[in-house]
Structure formats: C-alpha cells, structure tokens
Chain A
C-alpha cells in the first residue's frame, strides 16, 4: 500500500496501481460528531477533483464529501450507508467511502502528507 495523502477538505486517499481509495479523516469525524447518514457517488460516475462526491450527516448537520482527485468511481462502500456509525468507529480503515480509477497522477502532488495534514488539522481546529 502506498503512502496516505490528505486534502484540506479532510479526505484521505491511498493508491494501489491506478486505483485510489478515499475516505474522511478521523479529525473530520471528531468535528462532525455522530454520523447518522452517508450518501456515496454512483458506480461508473465521473468525478472531478475538489467536486462533491457524497454527503455525510451528523445529528447536527449535513456536510459534503469532496473528492481530492478526478476519476471514475469503480467501487463504493455500501456497509457505511447501511450503518453510518462505522464511519466514527474506523474512519481511516474499514469505513472508506469510494474507489476511483485515477485520471491524472499529477493531482496527487498538491495533497498533504500525514505530518503536514496533522499540522493543518490542528491549526484549522484552533
């Protein structure tokens, strides 16, 4: 498995060959609180970098989920739709959101590594 990258919208992304797995960060789930609803993109849909690719709702409010890179949706995680509380339990593991067939590898360059993201998350939280 490759390194994990992070976006300013609090998504994480890992890459295996040209297939990217995307989810939301632990920090994001802590800010959202209890997640009670998740909506994912359709399989086969094309999504554009920084565009909306899903929705999560906590007891308090709805938030868009963005995709940090462009590509075609090849898989989605139905288990988090059936039981959204899994997103709070294991956001950076089993509760991934969707998989993309990546279009442009260069889009990864603008993303943060773990150390940069942790710093960013800490600053944006304060």
Chain B
C-alpha cells in the first residue's frame, strides 16, 4: 500500500523534518531543533501540528440521528449545543474501546474527529450501527491543523478574526481566503489552542501565515511528550478494545444522566463497573530517579508481585524528569503508593501520582 502524504508534506520537507510512517501516512516526527525544544516552544509560545492524518467524519441527519447516536455514544447529545464538543468513545458490547474521539454538533449533524489508525474501521462500524440511514462523509479533502500554546490565540486571531471569542470545547465556521474553515478551541497538549479543519488546497498557505506570525511547526515526537505530561490518553497505548472507559479512569466523559438509564452500547458493563469497581485502572506514574520506563515495562508492588504494566513512558521536558502512565490492580492505584518498575532487569522505585504531570491551562471562560 502506498504511503499517504498530507497537504503539508512539502512544507515539512522544506522545514527539514525527519519523517516516520504513522497509520499509513508519512508524518514529521521532529524538526532540526529536536523534541525537547519543540515541546518547550509549544508550552511557552505557539506550536503548529499537522494532524491531517486524523479522520474528519461528517454525519448529517435529523432528530432521528441524535436518537441513534445516543444509542452509540454515552453522551447527552440532545442537550449538546450547536458548535459545542464532547470527548467520547466508540465501544463494543463489552465497553471495550474501538476509538476515542471528539464529537461536535454542527448544523444538520455532527463532526467527529477520529484517530488515524482507527478511522476506516470506525466508519465501517458506524455505518453498520446507523444502518446507512444517514449521509456520512469521511472527508479526505480537508486537512486538520492544530495550533497550541499560550501565544496561539493572538497568532491565530491575527489571521482569523473572532477565534478569541471561542471557549474551550466549542467551535464555529470562519473564512480563510474565501474558503470555509471550521475552528474549535481544543487540543492535545494541555495548553490553550485551536484545531482548524480546512480544505487541502489552502492548508499550506494557512500554515505559512501562522509561521509568519511566529508559530513553529512541531512534530509528532513532541506531541507525544506534551500529551503525556498533560495526562491525556493515546489510542493503542492507554486505550484499546480490551479496556473500558471506567478502567481508563475516564468516567468523567460519560454523561451522568445516561448512566442510570443505560441504553447505549456497552452500558451494562459500564454500569456494573461503576457499581462494583474495576480490577485494573489507569494511573499516573512518577519514577523516583531519572530512569525512563517505557511501554510494556512491568510494574511490581513492594512484595515483588506483578501488579501491572506501563502503557506510555518518556522524559517530560517541562517536568524535567521521567513520566509514565499505566494500568495497575485497583488496590495499588492510590496516590503515593510505592511501586517498582523493571527496566533492563533491575527494579527501580516509583510512585503512583495524580494526573496531569503538568497543569493544564485551558481557557474555560468565554470572552463573549
């Protein structure tokens, strides 16, 4: 299968990106300044991320669509206001997660942002669940650009007037060079920022405008260290078909009024887990020294019993130390529980800790 390229490929190449194949796309992992500098620049200034490999699924329909989607997602979609977004999951009957996603109410339907590696399968599952009753478009003609960091609002509003009025997890249509673009105030770094869905043919011009104003291209490497410091899950690591939203410690994302009534895919399991508890749960993990415990590192308790596994681990440039997330048996999930991580045959001390590692600075108050 041919490796796909995004509309910004040439721009990445001109910026001397190192590329990596990710979910069938040739994506920039880093630029010459390197992951640590890119990470810090995003935290202190403004970073641009090409996330065009992610799926942009538009579904159009009437009130029946809302009814049908509520049978799939554990959300109160009837009350979701126009241009507001929610984090959610596509689950199987056992509440195992097929994908995690952001769903936004738009005119006449919804826009769902899906993970690159899952988008084709998601489309199949959703088409089947919705019996092909609605117009569904997994749009390859649009790019997705994120701009993240404290200077992003100023940089983006210089080009697109009005984005400063968006509040966190809401969006709207704007115009760029007479083309319709959809912007939400959201992201995956723990910083204030925006995600911009725009036609492929203007993606490069748009990105160049942001670079002119002082933002810099940031690769997938720093995207990973940023999201990990922010305590955010990555599909295929913290989340997969064998883990439920309750086990992933994401029950906040399930609408409360949907739990009691159930009637969505996986609701029986979710209900049972919320009542009876879970045997394993996602936690934050802070190694005591400088040792980096990466994915699949085994976790032991103080009696040397194997109690879990790391799902993501790296060096956090803003924390200036190693950070990790993983799953442990529920009884060892309390904050400050001492654990041991087996790296290269030796056991290194670490502690269960709260998330995020780095405090989020989302803009919740709308400037409206």
**A binding-site residues for B, Cβ under 8 Å:** 33-34, 36-37, 55, 57-62, 81, 84-85
Contact = CB atoms under 8 A, between A and B. Distances in A.
Contacts, number: 37
Given A59-B314, A60-B221, A34 B344 contact: no
Interface of B: 29-30, 34-37, 221, 225, 290-292, 294, 314-315, 317, 322, 344
A111 B225 CA distance: 38
Contacts of A58: 35
Nearest to A52: B344
A59 B221 contact: yes
B315 A36 contact: yes
A100 B71 CA distance: 68
A59 B316 CA distance: 8
B315 A37 contact: yes
B152 to A, nearest CB: 23
B291 A59 contact: no
A59 B315 contact: yes
Contacts of A55: 344
Nearest to B294: A62
A58 B36 CA distance: 10
Given A59-B315, A60-B221, A34 B35 contact: yes
Nearest to B30: A33
Nearest to B222: A59
A93 to B, nearest CB: 20
Contacts of A37: 290-292, 315, 322
A33 B36 CA distance: 9
Nearest to A32: B34
A33 B34 CA distance: 6
Contacts of A84: 290
Contact of B35 (A57, A60, A62, A81): A60
Nearest to A55: B344
Contact of A59 (B225, B290, B344): B225
12 contacts: A34-B34, A34-B35, A36-B36, A36-B290, A37-B292, A37-B315, A37-B322, A58-B35, A59-B225, A59-B314, A59-B315, A59-B317
Contacts of A85: 36
Given A36-B315, A59-B35, A62-B294, 18 more contacts: A33-B30, A33-B221, A34-B35, A34-B36, A34-B37, A36-B36, A36-B292, A37-B291, A37-B315, A37-B322, A57-B315, A59-B36, A59-B221, A59-B225, A60-B221, A62-B292, A81-B290, A84-B290
A36 B290 CA distance: 8
Contacts of A61: 294
Contacts of B37: 34
Nearest to A85: B36
A122 to B, nearest CB: 17
Contacts of B29: 60
A81 B317 CA distance: 16
Nearest to A58: B35
A55 B292 CA distance: 11
Contacts of A36: 36, 290, 292, 315
A80 B196 CA distance: 42
Contacts of A34: 34-37
Instruction: From B34, B294, B322, name the one whose CB has the most chain A CB atoms within 10 angstroms.
Output: B34
Sorted from nearest, which 3 A-B pairs have the closest CB atoms? A36-B315, A34-B36, A59-B35
A55 B348 CA distance: 15
